[in-house]
Structure 1
Amino acid sequence: MCRAYVAAKLLVAGLVMTGLFACSSPTVMQYAKEKPTLDLSEYFNGTIDAYGIFTDRSGEVKKRFTVLLVAQWKVVDGKKVGTLDESFEYSDGTKQKRIWTLTETAPGKFIGRADDVVGDAIGESAGNALNWAYTLALPVDGTIYHVQFNDWMYLVTPKVMINKAKMSKFGIDLGEVTLSFYKR
């Protein structure tokens, strides 16, 4: 009886540990050795076309869109500062504009700001990957919702980058945005 009890406790502890590890998120440093190396100020410089979809929790595509992105960087007070001017066009004909200001605060560390971003977007890059975390003021049917984004970008070739962003509110998964960037 005692051995069965100990075995049951070990099984439960193992399941709990497996569950904890399964829920852990990747870190940007896991991609530090991946190539090609993403230099944000190099990739997001000039004109970039992007093609994307928004899928809900079930995986159903709810919106398709294209983005024309025009970007440039300069050095301000010894720091790299980029402006990313994004023009969105959705499959339903609606249009949207977002202008990001990105500041490299240290090598591989960034702060991003835009009019519809609540507070600062915090970014970190290593190897071919960039991770952004931010809250977006998202308009839906006349109401503004503050939605959290966990945004991952992966440089595939010097001209192509893939972006996956998970959206959530109160820790509940709302859906995902998938984008493919192509640098002209």
Structure 2
Amino acid sequence: MLIKPLLFLSAVSLTGCAGIDVNNYQAEQPELKMEAYFNGQLDAWGMFQKRNGEVVKRFKVVIDAEWNGDKGVLDERFTYSDGTTQRRVWRLTRIGDGLYQGEADDVVGVAEGRVSGNALHWVYTLKLPVDGKEYEVAFDDWMYLQEDGVMFNRSVMKKFGFRLGEVTLFFRKRS
């Protein structure tokens, strides 16, 4: 009789891991068009929080973005609250209807993204420098376009399946 409760717990566990399908946002407006939104200059403000909610670092990002056909480049320049700076250059490719791939020097392999409605879901592994060491951390990254050129971004960071913390950003497209 122990088998039924174990099967139920297994099913619940697997359902919890399934996550949200980006297609749930298909009807949401304004519609996110990557090539239009990530084209030109954008500003972003963000913070990193530990899993207990403590804000560890705040930052500002200035982004110069440009698309040429199915290829895009996002040149991100970070300035952190402790005065340090960082640069990440994303090379994006549209590979199908709503499907994108991205590469950057500190991304392991290829980031995979899908757009539906006002939402973008990215999944990738980032080489994250911490106290002179580098860790490979999995990112589950969700972006939601709002009115007036504003976008919310929430990323959950995990290592070996354990939640390390969250990154929250707000983007604003310059006029």
**Shift, 1:60, TM fit:** 0.6
CA RMSD in angstroms, aligned pairs only: 1.7
Alignment match, 1:31: 25
State whether structure 2 residue 47 is matched by structure 1 residue 53: yes
> Could you tell me how far apart the structure 2 residues matched to 1:104 and 1:121 are?
12
**Shift, 1:16, TM fit:** 5.7
Alignment match, 1:141: 131
> Could you tell me how far apart the structure 2 residues matched to 1:172 and 1:14 are?
23
Cα 1:10–1:139 change in 2 (3 A) is closer
TM-score by length of 1: 0.88
In the TM superposition, 1:93-104 aligns within 5 A as 93-104=83-94
**CA displacement 1:96-145 (0-9 Å, x = unmatched):** 00000000001100010000001100111110000111110111111110
30, 43, 66: which one aligns with 2:60: 66
Aligned length: 174
**CA displacement 1:67-108 (0-9 Å, x = unmatched):** 000100002xxxx10100000000000000000000000110
Cα 1:10–1:117 change in 2 (3 A) is closer
Cα 1:11–1:52 change in 2 (3 A) is same
For residue 65 of structure 1, give the secondary structure of its aligned residue in structure 2.
strand
Whichever of the two has the greater Rg, that structure is 1
> Could you tell me how far apart the structure 2 residues matched to 1:39 and 1:71 are?
13
For residue 144 of structure 2, give the secondary structure of its aligned residue in structure 1.
strand
In the TM superposition, 1:142-181 aligns within 5 A as 142-181=132-171
For residue 58 of structure 1, give the secondary structure of its aligned residue in structure 2.
coil
Unaligned segments of structure 1, at least 5 residues: none
> Could you tell me how far apart the structure 2 residues matched to 1:25 and 1:162 are?
19
**CA displacement 1:13-59 (0-9 Å, x = unmatched):** 66665554344310111111111100001000101000000000101
In the TM superposition, 1:73-88 aligns within 5 A as 73-75=67-69, 80-88=70-78
State whether structure 2 residue 93 is matched by structure 1 residue 118: no
97, 104, 107: which one aligns with 1:107: 97
Aligned residue identity for 1:41: E
Percent identical among aligned pairs is 51
TM-score by length of 2: 0.92
Cα 1:143–1:11 change in 2 (3 A) is closer
